[in-house]
Amino acid sequence: MIDKPIIRHSFVFILLLCICSALSVFAAEVRPRYKDPSLPVEQRVEDLLARMTLTEKIDQLSGLGFDTKENQRLGIPVLKMTDGPVGVRWGTATAFPAAVGLAASWDPDLLERTARVIGLETRAKGRNYLLGPCVNIHRFPLGGRNFESYGEDPFLAARLATAFVKGIQSQGVLASVKHFACNNQEWERHKVDVGVSERALREIYLPAFKAAVQEGNVYTVMAAYNLLRGDHCSQSAYLLNDILKKEWGFDGFVVSDWRSVYSTVEAANAGLDLEMPYGEFFGAELSAAVKRGDVSAAVIDDKIRRLLRVRFRAGLFDRTDKEDPAVVGRREHKLLAAEAAEKSIVLLKNNEGVLPLNPATIKTLAVIGPNALDARVGGGGSSKVTPLACVSPLQGLQNALGRDVKIKYALGIAQRGDIHPLRPMFMTPLKPVHSGSNGLQAEYFSNLELKGEPVLTRLDPTIDFNWGYDAPHPALHRVDDRNTFSVRWTGKLLPPKSGIYKLNVINNDGIRIYLEDKLILDQWRKGLTTFKTVSVTMEAGKSYRLRIEYFFDGGISMVKFGWQLPDHDYIAEAVETARVSDAVIIFAGLYERFESEGQDRPRLELPNQDQLIAAVAAVNPRTVVVLNSGTPVRTDKWLHLTGALVQAWYPGQEGGDAVARVLLGKVNPSAKLPFSYINDYSQSPAFKGYKEKSLKSNYDEGIYVGYRYLDHHGINPAFAFGHGLSYTVFEYRNIKAVSSGPEVQVRCDIKNSGGRTGREIVQLYVHPVQSSVSRPPQELKGFAEVSLAPGESRTVTIKLNDAAFAYYDEGAKSWKTEAGDYEIRVGASSRDIRLRTRIRR
């Protein structure tokens, strides 16, 4: 007989089991499947998609400024975007070298590590989507955004883009490879219609995008502003649907560039998924188009699947990011920015060992040029990063040399259209009214009319600001994603000599200048960037009341104030400084006003600096020129007079110290040019047809871009693609190519036969010995880096696959490798081939 207590206990136990089971089923029903991180991504996507209304779906297809729209009912995470791609353009962040400088490192690992830090800082700022990398090919040598991308070669760009994407997305941040496709100039970028052959499209302009998609697994692709073969890229079904999504298998989403959508039905059906920054076309008009049947529900669902899929893959549904300002200031980020700057600097010329400079033999060093005073951190526009702190070249040299060497500075140039801000470093012309400090009292207002109490009051040592799309202070007013503010600077102006001064200002929007309470310049209206000058007579020893008022009403904000001294010969001053110095460093080149989104450079020549360089180099043969630019500059008027030439690009926040370390030999330069450094307009076919009134840009050169064009026509540039010198000497020996199935392994020995440890970039080019179609004489198909101590040797192996020997067959609409002999060329640049061997494919 069974004991009754046992029966009672069993019944209770069974009852509890039933209750727990019921609760589990109930909990499962309460908790949607899309919120279960253990389920596969596609199951979560389909579950959430089924729960969304059409209105909710349409809402997800356009943005609100830099964010997508919130869906609180379903808890869909907002995509919070920020510009890049060499740092987070959201307040202050670590500023890495411009992308073209990173490309000069030829170091995918460096780019991946850099991107990891950028991704980490993106999340630390509460953002989850970085708009980069930019991978457009340098077709037009003066392209305004060339500095943002990786050069002229599709193979190099593909390797670097893939590394960057992996680094960003390893941090749970969406990357956006841009601008798809053929966005190779800024002039009329919304209207220019690119005509390009299918072969050139496939061989030159698409490989970096393809690699980012298929190897980097990039989450998003940004459509370009321009037209391609008559269709805007944001509504090109051939680009977005046929190539990107169907042929390449891209399952992320396509986002528009800002205000680059031009239709509703065409763009939606062509494959655009997200309109930014607002829903001008992908809002009410798209909803109406769906109801009319012009855009199917299946097309909308496909877009939503893509937008949800990347959110799940990036982990956005399963985490909450919190802002952490301490992340940006980390020491390891600063050290990585310094390493990146050092690896980006290219030694282009070095006659008779002028570099590295030896402080033991130099008592006086002349430092000349406006780019010595300013840290040219990066180019202008949406890629501009504001660092916590930065180092100018002059500061870098002072840090490195201390008191061992006397540095004598001269500005060197004074030119119309440029500003030399008044700085307390060498003179104290600006004083507050009630203080002995240097600078002007500044009041920042959160309106356009200087009304009310200022949001921020501080002492500004100089008026030299380019805030980009940011505001001078987080508390300043933002309306519809636009910064709007005004500033009043007051103080005293102290002229060092008597005479007629030219007071200069560069600004966006409104500016007023008062001297002794008299209005001497009145441009109080909204407008584009302008340069204005006004002449005033002032006497030495007197102080003049100065008031400058400025307002800004959205876009890229900039204001700079400076002067030109009366009857002052800046070049003569620089020449005399150079004459009495043991060595000279001229910091020349460009800056963000000349290279920026929205405009191309006007000319190949340096802006008004050729005469300065030639005059200084003529009196001191130990003249070193350091250039800041993201594109080539014409050097033929002065290169033969100089002892050394260094390309420093825009080297980021640590650039000043990095340049100093290279010049003084503490770092051995190892970077190589990622584009051909042309010396004349005739050396690029892209100048022909540029700025055509028809707004047609026909790429008649086809596949012959950059060094391919120069090699094909036997033209010698100033410096070849891949060129870059070292302070040591590398020997190349014993090449051997071995085929193993579809793969070819190329081996060679590299020896450091010099006296310094150094890093060499070994480059491999493939030359088809015979071909039934026109092909470039050689194409980069592999590279490897090797670091060697003096006397050390190492074997380098570079692997080639079938793609290294193929060309795009337009008739067959596929890639083709012709049977025959191929010459393998290995060297230090495209024009410095050291080893050759042949294989048969």
**589 Cβ contact list (under 8 Å, min separation 6):** 371, 376, 606, 609, 626, 627, 628, 629, 633, 648
SS3 at position 210 = helix
Helical segments of 191-243, H only:
198-200, 207-214, 237
Q: Which residues, in sequence order, are bridge partners of residue 452?
A: none
**229 Cβ contact list (under 8 Å, min separation 6):** 193, 194, 195, 196, 236, 238
Give the Å distances, CA to CA, from 810 to 245, 340, 721, 817: 20, 40, 28, 13
The active-site residue out of 257, 460, 470, 509 is 257
The secondary structure of 109-140 as a DSSP string is HHHHHHHHHHHHHHHHTT--EEE--B-----S
Closest CA to 76 of 97, 61, 86: 61
What span, in angstroms and rounded, lies between the C-alpha atoms of 417 and 820? 57
Helices then strands (H, E): number in the chain?
19, 38
Q: Which DSSP category does 243 fall into?
A: I
Helices 570-579, 610-619: axis angle to 10 degrees equals: 30
* Cβ atoms of 186 and 143 closer than 8 Å: yes
* Cβ atoms of 191 and 227 closer than 8 Å: yes
Q: Which two tokens stand for residue 800?
A: 């080639």
CA torsion 594→595→601→605, rounded to 10°? Answer: 70
SS3 at position 198 = helix
CA torsion 143→591→116→123, rounded to 10°? Answer: -100
What span, in angstroms and rounded, lies between the C-alpha atoms of 479 and 462? 28
Residue with tokens 């169907």: 246
Query: Pairing mode, if any, of strands 544-553 and 530-538?
Result: unpaired
Is the bond preceding residue 133 a cis peptide, omega within 30 degrees? yes
Q: Which amino acid is at 422?
A: L
What span, in angstroms and rounded, lies between the C-alpha atoms of 150 and 753? 31
What span, in angstroms and rounded, lies between the C-alpha atoms of 685 and 705? 8
Closest CA to 345 of 652, 572, 600: 652
Q: Which amino acid is at 365?
A: L
Consecutive H or E run containing 711: helix 707-713
Residue with tokens 């990347």: 310
Say whether 257 is catalytic: yes
Q: Which amino acid is at 638?
A: W
Query: Pairing mode, if any, of strands 440-445 and 456-460?
Result: antiparallel
Nearest 5 degrees, angle CA 644-CA 650-CA 656?
70
* Cβ atoms within 10 Å of 769's Cβ, excluding its own: 10
What span, in angstroms and rounded, lies between the C-alpha atoms of 834 and 764? 10
What span, in angstroms and rounded, lies between the C-alpha atoms of 449 and 528? 19
Query: Which residues are annotated as catalytic?
Result: 257
